[in-house]
Amino acid sequence: MRIMHPTDFSHTAEKARVLALDLSERSSATVHVVHVQERYQVSSFGPYVVNLSPDLLKLLEEQRSEEVRQLRESLANLTPPGGSSELRWGKPLPELLELAPNFDLIVMGAHGANRLDNFFLGGVAGRLVRRSPTPVLTVRDEAQTTTVQRILVATDFSSAAENAWRWCCALAERGKLALSLAHVLVSKGPQPLAQTREAVEKLEALACERKVHHLLREGDPVSVLPRLALEEGADVIAIGVKRRSAAVGLLFGSRADGLIRSSPVPILSVPLTTY
C-alpha cells in the first residue's frame, strides 16, 4: 500500500502526517511526503530580475539554491524511515492530481479562514477530493485524532456508498481496523415504520456476514455523523464520492460538502472509480 501525504508544513498538515504514519504502520504501507512550491520565495529583488548584473544574478541563484535546500531538508525531516519525499514546482492541484494515480490513499490537512471551501493550500484539499481518482483522507485543525482504529462508514445505499464500504473493508483487513456501518434517515417528519425496517434490512445486507455494528439514526447527516462517530469511538468517517462532470456528487449531495468542511472527525472520501 502506498500513501501520499501533501504538506504545506502547517500545524494542520502535521496532524494529517501523524495519521498517515499511523495508517502506514498498521497496513505496512510506505509514505511519500510531497510539497508543491509555486514559486521561489527567497529573493531580495522581487520580480525584477531583468537586466541584473552578473553578480546580482549569481546572488539570486544562490538564494534560490538555499531555498531549495531548506525545503528539501524540511521534507526529509518529515519523512519516516522507509518513506520518500519530493519537492515539486508548479500549481499544487494539477501537480497532486498527476501524482494521485500512483498511490492508494492521500492523507492531507484541510484548513482555512473561510468555511465555504477555503481549504489547505488555497482550496486544494476541497478540489482534490472532487477530482482525485484516489481516496482522500482530510484532517481539519479541530481534529483530535492521532490514531485510526475504527472507521464509521456512512451509507445511503448508493453505488458510491457501497464502493466506499468495500474499499474500507479491504483497508480494515489490511490494517486490522474495526468498522461500523451507519445510515442517517434525513428528518422530514415522522419516519414510516416500513422505511425504518427497509433501512435496517439494507444495512444487514450490505454488511453481509461481517460482524459490524449497524447504526440507524434520524436527522441532518452533517451534524449526526460526527456525533455518531464520537459515540462509536470511530476515528474516521468514510463517505462515497461520485463525480459528475466537473462537479462532484457526494454521499449526501451538498450535505457531504458541509460534512467535509465542518466535521472535527477526519473524513475519508472514496471515489467510485477506485474499486
pLDDT, tens only, 244-274: 544 443 434 456 677 777 899 999 999 987 5
Provide the CB-side half-sphere exposure for 117 (13 A, CA): 10
Distance CA(63)–CA(160), nearest Å, equals: 48
> Are residues 119 and 107 in contact, defined by beta-carbon separation less than 8 angstroms?
no
Question: Mean pLDDT highest for which of 35-39, 144-148, 243-247?
Answer: 144-148
Whose cell is 440507524? That residue is 216
Rg (CA), the chain: 21
**What's the mean per-residue pLDDT of the chain?**
84
- Side chain identity at 169, as an amino acid letter? C
> Are residues 90 and 224 in contact, defined by beta-carbon separation less than 8 angstroms?
no
Domains of the chain as residue ranges with CATH = 2-140 (3.40.50.620), 150-274 (3.40.50.620)
How much is the average pLDDT of 183-190?
75
pTM of the model: 0.85
Distance CA(126)–CA(136), nearest Å, equals: 10
> Are residues 245 and 114 in contact, defined by beta-carbon separation less than 8 angstroms?
no
- Side chain identity at 148, as an amino acid letter? V
- Where b means 16+ CB within 10 Å and e means fewer, 36-64 reads bbeeeeeeeeeeeeeeeeeeeeeebeebe
> Are residues 186 and 212 in contact, defined by beta-carbon separation less than 8 angstroms?
no
How much is the average pLDDT of 8-30?
95
By mean pLDDT, which of 61-65, 77-81, 83-87 is the weakest? Answer: 61-65
Tell me what pLDDT residue 41 has: 57
pLDDT > 90: percent of the chain: 56
pLDDT > 70: percent of the chain: 81
